[in-house]
Amino acid sequence: MAMTMVDKAAVMKQTSAWPPAIQQEFERERQNPNPCVGSRLLSEDERVRVWMIALKPGERIGFHRHVLDYFWTSVTGGRGRQHVHDGTTVEYTYVPGETRHEIYGAGEFKVHDLENIGDQDMIFMTVEFLNSANKPMPLPAGVRARAA
């Protein structure tokens, strides 16, 4: 769900049901947006960034912000839970090969986390398109050093 303006009072009401540690992490992300949409940057060129997310049962990737057009593919399938910036919590069962494309207009974004709530490892590939309506956010120091 791409959003540009979010009613802060409505979000605060919905996020109040989240565990305190999740609420605090969400607030930190709002203050300091996290552009790392995967746990590992695998490849980057002038057109795309390719990320991987690998989560063992019970692991999660923290809040991160999508501003670029992208697609993800579930490599292994599995069961996940997301806390989304509009205050919703979503649980979903992914199937191997499932792919979703997301497009963001100027000023639009999505912030969410992802937790593996299943009993098997979950692996996702995410490809961001650098030539999107929004400029790419700068990546933190050291992220590119991990790219192969």
Three-state secondary structure call for residue 107: coil
Beta bridge partners, 43, equal 50
What integer pLDDT is reported at residue 146 of this predicted model? 61
What integer pLDDT is reported at residue 64 of this predicted model? 98
What integer pLDDT is reported at residue 13 of this predicted model? 62
Radius of gyration of the chain from its Cα atoms, rounded to whole angstroms = 15
Token pair for 12: 């605060």
**What average pLDDT does the chain have?**
91
Closest to 81 in 3D by CA, of 59, 98, 101, 54:
59
Q: What is the mean pLDDT of residues 65-72?
A: 98
Contact (Cβ atoms closer than 8 angstroms) between residue 130 and residue 49: yes
Domains within the chain, CATH numbers bracketed: 8-134 (2.60.120.10)
Share of the chain above pLDDT 70, in %: 89
Q: What is the pTM of this model?
A: 0.88
What integer pLDDT is reported at residue 78 of this predicted model? 98
Phi, psi of 111 (to 5 degrees): -120, 130
Phi, psi of 85 (to 5 degrees): -60, -15
Token pair for 79: 């069961």
User: Can you give 65-76 as a three-state secondary structure string?
Assistant: EECCCEEEEECC
What integer pLDDT is reported at residue 4 of this predicted model? 47
Residues 84-124 have pLDDT tens digits of 999 999 999 999 999 999 999 999 999 999 999 999 999 99
